Structure 1
């Protein structure tokens, strides 16, 4: 094959990989703007939104838990085989989701989608490591990462557009079937079969897989999410089993950390890396992910529950935030190149903290609130989007600077894992708190009845009841955005500890690197 033909096939292969990454990323965020439509279709009362929380967390849990382990499996069985298998399961999960008539089945479909989708990013990044040398690899990894980021921008808009045009949220998941078929054809044609060259150990044996680490990570996250989910939040923020289950999840994650420190085959090899700055940077990614998910869910809920907007109008309100996000991401990359990663990360998290404080202060008559000629909602959402967007490129750049070039694929995936973990645990914890607060604020409200009273009196009582419910919702949202502002402020402090010296990753006196089998050769 000529050099030009080989380069063309490489571009097609990474283009196919980027497309499947985008497909999975779209489905990670698509539910945020159609949540009310799902609730109405499944006949869930609007005051019992906690019952649909597993639909959000199920996908994220599968995505985060599967990502590191399935990335290693691609080293053992080959990139094409793993991509094809994951696309088949992604299609199967889409079918289950589209056919679901209740929350448990809908959640099961989303979990299957998440597990399959979680492998697509690390496998595609590993594919970039197979096909490009170290000098050109960062640019390709950046393009794959951009596809992942694009999903957070387009996913909510895509979901709202399908519902607006076709009036059926289930079609979002039926559409996945032809898209998945096209992706499988492109992967079959362009991605090399077999294991990547150089992926075997001594004597050519298959590389190991950290099954124990993968299972411990999945179990720990599942226990945390299960402990935070409260189907009956009237009495407390956590269910009766919440504290022991959360404690068990934390203990399992500690055990995961101890295992990773001692085993030879690791999900993410940190030997020879300055761990303090790297973990601080991943902490910034974690906290920015929590803030991102709160915005995607709660801003749309504010629009639909307080402002009376429909699905499309709620998504259009969210576009103020979503448009600012990629614009600031480009700016953050420019600033990181000129002044380093620390200050853009710290500034971005501080700006987003200020933005969430502004959002928490939204008045009751929000539609009429303004800063001079500018609507207040628009300004506050743009400020928040600019802050979170400013963090994206410096976080990725700092992590890549912290590790040797041979581990860039896994390190880039670690940034996404940290952010998705923040999204998963952030929405779980804040939802548990928010739903409990709503029920506690409305516990003494009595729904007015039209019997044995004049019609005018009933209308007055109903109007007073609805206003009291709106006040409770405003208080709930306000407190959630206050907490989110605090998380972003913590992220700004972590960013100041995340400085990485040029040439870092060369070691800090630790033992020589262990076998990093999850990293492409």
Structure 2
């Protein structure tokens, strides 16, 4: 009993390590931009650094999880930790965006395997009845990364510089590899059949997502909303993802076997996870950018501003679990997405004098961010609970990973699409602005007017992004209505098991 608890504790620690690095970049973005010499009005150049990690994370997660079924948990965990250290070193050393993006992609690919492998390890070590509690603890480590990652990043960056966020990963990864070696069971039992690996499915998923992200990336937003290769590349990505779905329906070895599963409610639940992920990433990135580009705050002050949202998130996640247990998963999901939609609408309406705006004695900024965090947090536990209810216990690890894959996919596609639109809008709003020269008459007044016009353009850009995010949350609420509750779901795996026990 003690050894397996240590093993899953080590697994949870490596999941947390990868999760921290998934979110760490959000609060140090402007700091990295400054260090690399990228002008603040060309933030689109840093977008691949954000999307590279997420793309690697999402694309690798299902396939590497299957590889651990074939070659054993210990070997895959150690290999991924080694590559994670390599990616961290490349990221820390990088002097430009291409190498920085390469490092982040390597980190993402390696980090993406750690969650499903650890969840599968829980399935190996615990019997079916006790497994959900262990899976919940591993999932909590993943969720903790979204809360601590932005604060962890800005704390290390403020104390030692942003590159040390990634240098620190090297000794941590080595220590984790040693711990995995001594605690996680190695290999497979002699004579045990090695399951297949859906290499084609994994490759199609990675290629399809990669094409979508490439099509959405626009290095010249001052010219068009979408690059010349945008529409054909996106169309190609859609075709490849359709091919992925067809392949998964026909192949014997699948990334996620949905045999006997009610697909409508399952896909609706994963859709809610995807849309909440998009909203989460927009908040983590754009709230900090608002703080730094409009309110003239430092990266540390921007992270502290974000804490209003981050503190509310886990509090609501706990509350959502209790509500879902009592009333079923549908209503906390619907309520959470609608509350977050209201929060984004309020954020979109932030006035120019935000720091002095208030609702009576409560600062408006604080109230709006807390409300948004409560809404998105309320969704976390019901989504995971609903997915586990729809699939057999033998697939709980894969299903739990699917929830994270959906959320990360939402983060990836959401930040790609909304960033592309936002950068284009900013350029179109500022294309007629002329920065005054120091020898112009009335230079100080003209410079002040120019800076005010730039901030107005930024405010409009952020406002439109938050409006779209609010609409995504409303769509998530509508999807949640399609998810049955415990009481009215007569065909869920859980309900079938309960009926069998009473007969």
Q: What is the TM-score normalised by the length of structure 2?
A: 0.97
Distance of 1:351 and 1:450 partners within structure 2: 48
- Provide the C-alpha distance between the structure 2 equivalents of 1:507 and 1:467, rounded to a whole number of angstroms: 60
* Closer/same/farther in 2, CA of residues 406 and 324 from structure 1, 3 Å limit: same
Distance (Å, rounded) in 1 between the aligned partners of 2:369 and 2:310: 9
Report how far residue 238 of structure 1 moved. 1.0
Q: Which residue does the alignment assign to 1:13? A: 7
**Is the contact made by 2:60 and 2:109 (CA closer than 8 Å) also made in structure 1?**
yes
Could you tell me how far apart the structure 1 residues matched to 2:388 and 2:495 are? Answer: 14
Contact 1:357 1:481 in 2 (8 A): yes
**Cα displacement string for residues 197-249 of structure 1 (whole angstroms, at most 9, x for unaligned residues):** 5xx9xx74421000000000000000000000000011222111000000000
Conserved? CA contact 1:272–1:506, under 8 Å: no
8 A Cα contact 1:95 1:173, kept in partner: yes
Which runs of structure 2 are paired with 1:63-462 in the superposition (5 Å)? 63-166=57-160, 168-195=161-188, 197=189, 204-451=192-439, 453-454=440-441, 457-462=442-447
Q: Secondary structure at the match of 2:493?
A: coil
Measured on the aligned residues, the alpha-carbon RMSD in Å equals 1.2
The answer to whether the 8 A contact 2:357-2:363 is kept is yes
Q: Contact between 1:448 and 1:462, CA under 8 Å: does it hold in 2? A: yes
Q: How far is 1:505 from its partner?
A: 3.4
Aligned mates of 2:211, 2:297 — CA distance in 1: 36
The answer to whether the 8 Å contact 1:33/1:159 transfers is yes
Give the counterpart of 1:498 among 479, 483, 501.
483
Give the TM-score taking structure 1 as reference length: 0.93
1:22 corresponding residue in structure 2: 16
| 2:337/2:379 contact within 8 Å kept | yes
Checking the alignment, whether the CA contact within 8 Å between 2:280 and 2:411 is kept in structure 1 is yes
Unmatched runs of 5 consecutive residues or more in structure 2 = 497-503
Q: Aligned residue for 1:470?
A: 455
Q: How far apart, in 2, do the equivalents of 1:284 and 1:193 lie? A: 37
Does residue 481 (structure 1) correspond to residue 475 (structure 2)? The answer is no
Determine the C-alpha separation between the residues in 1 that align with 2:203 and 2:463.
37
Matches within 5 A, 1:28-67: 28-67=22-61
Q: Note if contact 1:274-1:507 (Cα within 8 Å) is conserved in structure 2.
A: no
**1:127-178, Cα deviation, whole Å (9 max, x unpaired):** 0000000000000000000000000000000011011222x10000000011
- List per-residue Cα deviations over 1:258-307 (Å, max 9, x = no partner): 00011110000111000000000000000000000000000000000000
Note the C-alpha offset of 1:507.
11
CA distance in 2, matches of 1:338, 1:503: 19
Give the superposition deviation at 1:502: 5.6
Structure 1 CA distance for aligned equivalents of residues 286 and 193 of structure 2? 50
Aligned equivalents of 1:159 and 1:307: distance in 2?
Answer: 21
Equivalents in 2 of 1:186, 1:205: separation in Å?
A: 27
Deviation at 1:506, TM superposition (A): 8.1
SS in 2 for 1:266: coil
1:181 deviation in Å? 1.2
Q: Taking structure 1 as reference, are residues 204 and 193 closer, same or farther at Cα in structure 2, changes over 3 Å only?
A: closer
Task: Output the CA distance in 1 between the equivalents of 2:165 and 2:394.
Answer: 38
Equivalents in 2 of 1:158, 1:394: separation in Å? 27
Q: 1:341 to 1:279 in 2, by over 3 A?
A: same
Give the SS at the match of 2:203.
helix
Q: Distance in 2 between matches of 1:165 and 1:367?
A: 27
Count of residue correspondences: 493
Contact preservation (8 Å) 1:272, 1:505: no
Match of 2:501 in 1: none
Q: 1:354 to 1:311 in 2, by over 3 A?
A: same
Q: Which runs of 4+ in 1 moved over 4 A?
A: none
**Unmatched tracts of structure 1, length 5 or more:** 1-6, 509-521
